[in-house]
Amino acid sequence: MRIRQALLAISVVLYYSSTAVSAADIDWRLVRTLQGKALLEYVASLDLKGQAALNFWKNIPVSKANQQVSASFATRPSPST
């Protein structure tokens, strides 16, 4: 169910995006504190588009709350961009 919600959120962001934002324009400290609807509203406010939207979701900080998920992301290679 959560995967379906995440995919829907990503789809909405990609569909309604119109201008690209650089990683420097994203307040990552704020992103770490946001959850649920507040996170989606912040992402929508960034107006991300195309690859920039994908890069945001690839680079989003992973919570340490779920140890199994945290461990799997800790072993992934870091993005080159």
Q: Where are the domains of the chain?
A: 2-74
Asked if pLDDT for residue 78 goes beyond 60, the answer is no
pLDDT, tens digit, for every residue of 24-63?
Answer: 678 888 888 888 899 889 888 888 888 888 888 888 766 6
Q: Which residues contact 70 (CB under 8 A, 6 or more apart)?
A: 62, 63, 64
In whole angstroms, give the CA distance from residue 44 to residue 41: 5
pLDDT, tens digit, for every residue of 3-31?
Answer: 877 777 777 766 655 455 666 678 888 88
Give the pTM: 0.50
* pLDDT score recorded for residue 17: 54
In whole angstroms, give the CA distance from residue 53 to residue 51: 5
* pLDDT score recorded for residue 60: 77
Q: Which residue has the tokens 């920039």?
A: 52
Q: Which residue has the tokens 């649920």?
A: 36
